[in-house]
Structure 1
Amino acid sequence: MIGIVIVTHGQLGSVLIDTAELIVGFRPEAMIAVSINITEDVDKLRGKVARAVKEVTRKHGALILTDMFGGTPSNISYSFLREGHVDVVSGVNLPIVIKAINSRENMDLGELAECLENFGKRSISMASGILRGNKRG
């Protein structure tokens, strides 16, 4: 199983995990949220992420999900990239978290990261376009 760390501004990661638990019906193991307060010292924040990655890392590595590319959570997380061991996907949302929970035992780390990137792009829809029949849901 691939461990998952969700690194976000504020409490977003914790809320995503709690909400995913309601939907999937169980508390996901080897999944932890790290809340980033941008007023904290960067080394302290990096330490929080390092401890979380260590805690969830299993035989098949760890995936870090961050809220937005270029933000402090992402910038800190990039320092943990290790091909085949730790990967980072930015733009986390609830569909991505649920997909990660349901897919992480069936893929290697690289496959999971790529799958979640593609899935996340497809998980955003404009309802009015779908309802008018202009777009697929």
Structure 2
Amino acid sequence: MIGIMVVAHFNLAQEMAAAVELIVGKQEQFEAVGIFPEEDIEKIRGKIIQALKMVDSGDGVLILTDMFGGTPSNISLSFLEEGKIELVSGVNLPMLIKLASYREGKTLDELARFITDYGQKNIYLAQDVLKTRKKD
């Protein structure tokens, strides 16, 4: 099974992981890494390496970060390895919930591409949704 890591600023990763567990239950090979301003690059890299070891069973690891260009993404990018470690930025809760039921039997590339598309499609402007419902 593909391992999942969420790497984000402060406690965002841990809180998203807690929400996933509350909604769909405890996840195997799923780790959250929080990045804090007082940590130097080597400490952050060490935390990411430790989490990678915990989630990698040989099928690859998908790292999801909060925003492209931020420290979590920038440091995580140094771990990219084709077919083994992939990164998707802009993580949201619907993406993580979907990953809970969708990562079996997929290649890392298939999963990364699917979840990127899924995340983008699960962002809504409330007034547009409500207008559509009023028409029905």
Offset of residue 38 of structure 1: 2.5
Residue 104 (1) aligns with residue 103 (2): yes
Which runs of no fewer than 5 residues in structure 2 stay unpaired? none
Q: Deviations over 1:20-45 (max 9, x none)?
A: 11111x20011010010122111110
Higher relative helix content: 2
Q: Deviations over 1:77-132 (max 9, x none)?
A: 00010000000000111001011111111311000000010001001001101111
- State the TM-score, normalized to the length of structure 2: 0.94
Residue 44 (1) aligns with residue 39 (2): no
Give the alignment of 1:1-137 within 5 angstroms. Answer: 1-24=1-24, 26-133=25-132
Equivalent residues of 1:3, 1:31 under 8 A apart: yes
Percent same amino acid at aligned positions?
48
* Secondary structure of residue in 1 paired with 2:86: strand
Equivalent residues of 1:38, 1:72 under 8 A apart: no
Q: Equivalents in 1 of 2:21, 2:50: separation in Å? A: 23
Give the paired residue count.
Answer: 133
Q: Equivalents in 2 of 1:59, 1:105: separation in Å? A: 13
Offset of residue 133 of structure 1: 2.1
- State the TM-score, normalized to the length of structure 1: 0.93
Q: Equivalents in 1 of 2:106, 2:37: separation in Å? A: 33
* Secondary structure of residue in 1 paired with 2:8: strand
Which runs of no fewer than 5 residues in structure 1 stay unpaired? none
Equivalent residues of 1:85, 1:109 under 8 A apart: yes
* Secondary structure of residue in 1 paired with 2:44: helix
Q: Deviations over 1:51-83 (max 9, x none)?
A: 111111012111101000000000010001000
Q: Equivalents in 2 of 1:133, 1:5: separation in Å? A: 36
Q: Equivalents in 2 of 1:130, 1:100: separation in Å? A: 24
* Secondary structure of residue in 1 paired with 2:132: coil
